[in-house]
Chain A
Amino acid sequence: MADATVTLEVQRYRPEREDEPVWERFEVPARREWMVLDALNHVKDRLDGSLTFRWSCRMGVCGSCGMTVDGEPKLTCATPLAARGDGRPVRVEPLRGFPVIRDLVVEIRSFLGKLKRARPWLIRDDDVPLAAGEHLQTPAELADYKQYSMCINCLLCYSACPIHHLEPDFAGPAALALAQRYNLDSRDRGAAERMEELSRHSGIWGCTFVGECSEVCPKGVDPAGAIQRYKLAAAADWFQSILLPWSGQARAKRREVAR
């Protein structure tokens, strides 16, 4: 008896051959332990070596293998191939909202620019020598930002965000969540600096709180929550600068603007 198979419907885009993507079907073994990524690797190894896709760690850490599986943004290394079990083909497409370079590979340089503008690193306003030792944190201080530090830049949140599709300049969920990750870090002093960039329309105010970014996040980061918290902080900051213009935070903000 022939081994059971699963039909994999893969979106192909080979710019030298096609003007727009086409669907191609492959029959792959229906192994219970296989993830969609295993099936794609089977296609590449045994059926069509030209199939192009990104992957690396195979354990949900590197964030490279994000694709659209049956219409949903997923890490293919963590999406069981035969889980559905209804005999319908498993459809694999590139992540939505990004230009497709080839087959399942998308162009992500726009995201990398947005990430850089969010300044996702510790910013200090002092120069502490190494001899002074570590910047210690309490467990509560760590808990404040830990959730947001779990982001692996897999871009599933961007693929799920209709605002990112409609307004490509929108900073997007991951960049904003990572900015918030550093804002909430007790060691960081860069909140005012980030606020200048991210309180623009293309920053936090571009988010209309669809909330799908948090639903699809494989790491439970909750970018939508991070952005809403950021909005509250920005609004409070604005009110403070109007009502208490002499306060320290308001002065720091004005210095940033003047810089």
Chain B
Amino acid sequence: MNRRRFHPRWFRRRTPIFWWLEKGVYVHFIVRELTSLGVAYAALLLVVQVGVLGAGDAAHARFTALLASPWAVAWHALLLATLVFHTLTWLHLAPKALVVKLGGRRVPNAAILAGHYLGWLAASALVVLVLVRS
């Protein structure tokens, strides 16, 4: 059921297509949402890379050579920037949604944020360790 009410004399301001340029926070929001495409691309790239690994050494060598081209390096540097931006904004939003209580007291937002950063650093350190040892 359409619950909207209409009246011929009411004035409705049409939302412009570039509404998000009206305020800095809206621009920030749109950029944050768009960078999720970068996250999806990175996940897809990983899946493709795993598939190529399964296809044999030659296929994997061709794929890594493709990734080593200057255009691919520039593109993935840009992708890395979008991933870092998305990660940072995501981490800073997390304390809004998470209410953690310890001993009957609410854990401060700063502590939850610090916990997320520590988790991120630990996961990154683990990946670096695996890469260095392999």
Residues of A within 8 A of B (CB): 13, 15, 20-21, 71, 96, 99-101, 107, 109-110, 113, 140, 143, 162, 165-166, 168-169, 208-212, 215, 222, 224-225, 228-229, 231-232
- CB proximity of B100 to chain A, nearest CB, Å: 11
| 21 sampled A-B residue pairs with Cβ under 8 A | A15-B9, A71-B23, A96-B13, A99-B11, A100-B10, A100-B12, A107-B5, A107-B10, A113-B3, A162-B15, A166-B15, A169-B3, A208-B33, A209-B29, A210-B25, A211-B25, A211-B96, A224-B96, A225-B96, A225-B97, A231-B97
- SS class of chain B's interface: helix, strand, loop or mixed? loop
A21 touches B25 (CB 8 A): no
Residues of A within 8 A of B97 (CB): 225, 228-229, 231-232
A13 touches B11 (CB 8 A): yes
Q: Which of B5, B11, B13, B104 lies in contact with A140, CB distance below 8 A?
A: B104
Residues of A within 8 A of B5 (CB): 107, 109-110
Number of A-B contacts (CB under 8 A): 69
Residues of A within 8 A of B33 (CB): 208
A100 touches B96 (CB 8 A): no
A31 to B33, CA, bound (A): 44
Known contacts A113-B3, A162-B26, A231-B97: A100-B11 contact under CB 8 Å:
yes
* Residue B133 CB within 8 A of the other chain: no
Q: Which of A71, A99, A228 lies in contact with B12, CB distance below 8 A?
A: A99
- CB proximity of B21 to chain A, nearest CB, Å: 11
Residues of A within 8 A of B29 (CB): 162, 208-211
A99 touches B7 (CB 8 A): yes
Q: How large is the interface on B (under 10, 10 to 19, 20 to 34, 35 or more residues)?
A: 20 to 34
Residues of A within 8 A of B13 (CB): 96, 100
Q: Which of A15, A208, A232 lies in contact with B98, CB distance below 8 A?
A: A232
A208 to B36, CA, bound (A): 12
Q: In the complex, given contacts A107-B5, A162-B26, what are 15 additional A-B residue pairs having Cβ atoms less than 8 angstroms apart?
A: A15-B9, A20-B11, A96-B13, A101-B10, A107-B10, A109-B5, A162-B19, A162-B29, A169-B4, A208-B33, A210-B26, A212-B26, A228-B96, A231-B97, A232-B97
* Residue B93 CB within 8 A of the other chain: yes
A90 to B104, CA, bound (A): 47
Residues of B within 8 A of A212 (CB): 23, 25-26
Residues of B within 8 A of A15 (CB): 9-11
A125 to B20, CA, bound (A): 45
Determine the residue in chain A with the shortest Cβ distance to B14. Answer: A165
- CB proximity of B99 to chain A, nearest CB, Å: 6
